[in-house]
A and B are shown apart, each in its own frame.
Chain A
């Protein structure tokens, strides 16, 4: 096992997301999502790896939800990136959420949307329901509670998600974890994605690189 600080986990996930398919800004948001969930004791590294694997090499613009004129749902994509959905909802500060459900079809790894919903809950001062398959998550501004369906978590790769406002904004935060354990297997998968963002040094680049001279005895 590998023990990471939240900051180190975030840096690792940003670069892995970039290596798979996400542009930098989205990759940072994906990493923030993973770090938030792990900090709140919700395992997110595996769904994140599944997401990167499923969408590896995809054009992110093709993974964005396309909302109908009434803004009640997005139903016309074969697969949707949860980070694009989450960041869109966060960008809008919840202005497109109401008591009736916003429905989005074919979302990969929807658990990764939850942190964005927590930020929106803070904007609105109201908690939010997120539902897919048999999973129901209650999200407030400072935490999230998996009300049902936690056993299906890691398997829920592509789901139809319904999001709606819930009454009140109860405190849901449990203990916050500053460190995350990541298995060797997961670390290796993340590193494989990361490797694609790193440029192998040539002799020329080594010579003109950033370091000091070869002899440093002065």
Chain B
């Protein structure tokens, strides 16, 4: 790694948590070269992973089982896919669903026929079934009926699908949940955390989705052949790559960002450090300028595929498109020859572009600098157990100091105003999923309220702390006030990991939960965010990525933004 800047330069360039950890900005994040999908494919390509489909027992009605195997240097992982004939009346993205077009599990190793028989009894039931320590995730997907039927019709008639229709939907199937470690009987993360190939965050889940995409394309080609053996054709490889795999995500994902402050700090800090390293570069090498211009061109073109019916997001995409024109014009005239030219560009964006465009520029600035930033991927996991214990030897005045430095924003909120605590988070008895409710609708929320009301808690804690002697220890305080244990543990963690706290009140009436989802999904590498309300969103994943059988050939690392017509 060649860092053409001192550590002090880089530290000075870090944006503070008070700037970054705001929901409106987090809700404007885009995928970067540090995103988990991209890092997974980069790693598998570098290590020459081999892919195969040892089992394909799917009939002409699209019912059966398939196995996709990914073989790395040390171990193999297998996606086991069960294909179902779903009654259209049962097809729903909601978590109330009990049947799906396809159900999956990621098997640790290579499953035997006995394993497949066992899994056929549990995986199709998803939450209602139980898997074992041999399974690393479970997931399910439904067809985008509109696009699936179109592609099937065209292929079976010997024709290629329409590019515009592929562009408008983007995928043949969308996953409606991907459950990772330790859920419904699956193995805990402990089992895999020391394996280099999957130790980075969400790599098993990303691999599962990547292989699911291959399954969706194989399935439609298989059904076309079954329908019209004499005329059916396969999808043109370039068109095929434009098919991603969709995902529909609701509130279930949102509390994750609150419940894992150290992990989130590591994600955000990696992204911010990458940006700071680039900004701190004294000059811009010609090859980097060229790569940046290329990334900008690709993003400008790809953003045109992004559409949504959500009014707020639609307006933001329009503004982003206008801003990209401004940015392109600015870059065309920009000399890249002054001192710290990347930083000049960044500073200009803060004064001239919307948040959507500012954060897209962050992604674009990082893009050419793999040699400078990719090492940060190894700092994006977190051992949260190390910080589980409270340091009770700290005295009350030290805790107050952390509150002053990290939580002054929370202490400015007036919680006597009902609007500032209008909502509460709970877990629904029906589906065991996190939900957001209106406080005014319930008589007593206390037994049900999830501990996500951080700002409100800090406000209460600050009040109680005023009654306690500054010199007393936190251990003494907590013996008297055990209800603050969780919050004080958190405050101590955030004292060490300041990007771990969202500096906004997520129980106020004006908070948009999809901002939380967007932030997390951007780290996964998702694109084309399509909010369906203020609390659930559809996305596309792995669109334009090489398929497993193509990964060993010539591929473009920045596949996430690939203009139509480009060969991978």
Question: Which A residues are closer than 8 A to B by beta carbons?
Answer: 2-8, 11, 19, 22-26, 28-29, 32, 60-61, 64-65, 84, 87-88, 90-93, 95, 119, 178-179, 195-202, 204-206, 209-218
Contact = CB atoms under 8 A, between A and B. Distances in A.
Contacts of B205: none
Contacts, number: 180
A170 to B, nearest CB: 23
18 contacts: A8-B183, A23-B486, A25-B484, A25-B486, A64-B479, A88-B479, A90-B389, A91-B393, A92-B393, A93-B392, A199-B442, A200-B430, A202-B441, A210-B433, A210-B435, A212-B94, A214-B92, A218-B145
B441 A26 contact: no
Contact of A212 (B176, B392, B489): B176
Interface in B168-201: 169, 176, 181-191
A213 B428 contact: no
Contacts of B187: 5, 178
A61 B482 CA distance: 6
A204 B532 CA distance: 18
Interface of B: 88, 91-96, 130, 132-133, 142, 144-146, 169, 176, 181-191, 248, 250-252, 388-393, 426-430, 432-437, 441-442, 447-448, 451, 473-475, 478-489, 532, 535-536
Nearest to A63: B482
Nearest to B96: A211
Given A25-B485, A87-B485, A88-B478, A211 B390 contact: no
Contact of A29 (B251, B441, B480, B485): B485
A133 to B, nearest CB: 25
A120 B489 CA distance: 17
Contacts of A28: 388, 486
Interface of A is mostly: mixed
A210 B423 CA distance: 14
A199 B475 contact: no
Contacts of B478: 87-88, 91
A112 B63 CA distance: 50
Given A5-B187, A199-B429, A212-B532, A25 B388 contact: no
Given A8-B183, A178-B191, A196-B447, A211 B95 contact: yes
A37 to B, nearest CB: 16
Given A91-B475, A200-B429, A205 B435 contact: yes
Contacts of B427: 197-199
A123 to B, nearest CB: 9
A178 B190 contact: yes
Given A4-B185, A7-B188, A209 B146 contact: no
Contacts of B144: 218
Nearest to A39: B190
A30 to B, nearest CB: 11
A6 to B, nearest CB: 5
A200 B181 CA distance: 27
Nearest to B95: A211
A88 B434 contact: no
A92 B93 contact: no
Nearest to A123: B389
Determine which residue in B187, B434, B478, B485 has the highest number of CB atoms from chain A within 10 A of its CB, and name it. B485
Contact of B95 (A7, A92, A210): A210
Contacts of A206: 430
Given A197-B427, A202-B441, A214-B94, 13 more contacts: A8-B188, A25-B488, A25-B489, A90-B390, A119-B389, A178-B187, A197-B447, A210-B433, A211-B96, A212-B92, A212-B176, A213-B92, A217-B88
A210 B437 contact: no
Contacts of B432: 198
Given A92-B393, A216-B91, A217-B91, A8 B182 contact: yes
A148 B176 CA distance: 52
A210 B434 contact: yes
Given A32-B388, A178-B133, A210-B95, A217 B480 contact: no
Nearest to A83: B482
B441 A204 contact: yes
- The 3 nearest A-B residue pairs measured at CB: A91-B392, A25-B485, A25-B486
B189 A92 contact: no
Given A92-B475, A205-B437, A212 B536 contact: yes
B434 A91 contact: no
A11 B481 CA distance: 23
Nearest to A96: B475
A7 B480 CA distance: 29
Contacts of A6: 182, 188, 190
Contacts of A214: 92, 94
B243 to A, nearest CB: 16
A213 B93 contact: yes
B392 A92 contact: yes
Contacts of B146: 217-218
A87 B341 CA distance: 52
A6 B181 CA distance: 11
Contact of B428 (A2, A24, A91, A209): A209
B447 A23 contact: no
A96 to B, nearest CB: 9
Contacts of A26: 482, 485
Given A28-B486, A205-B435, A218-B145, A7 B189 contact: yes
Contact of B475 (A88, A211, A215, A218): A88
Nearest to B191: A178
B543 to A, nearest CB: 17
A64 B248 CA distance: 46
A204 B433 CA distance: 16
A2 B185 CA distance: 9
A28 B130 CA distance: 24
A121 to B, nearest CB: 13
Contacts of A95: 393
B190 A7 contact: yes
Given A32-B388, A210-B435, A199 B426 contact: yes
Contacts of B392: 88, 90-93
Contacts of B133: 5, 178-179
A19 B446 CA distance: 11
A196 B449 CA distance: 11
Given A91-B392, A204-B441, A25 B428 contact: no
B13 to A, nearest CB: 36
B98 to A, nearest CB: 13
Contacts of A119: 389
A213 B174 CA distance: 14
A78 to B, nearest CB: 17
A119 B181 CA distance: 25
A173 B507 CA distance: 45
Nearest to B442: A199
B94 A23 contact: no
Nearest to A6: B188
A65 B479 contact: yes
A5 B185 contact: yes
Contacts of A217: 88, 91, 145-146
Contacts of B132: 3
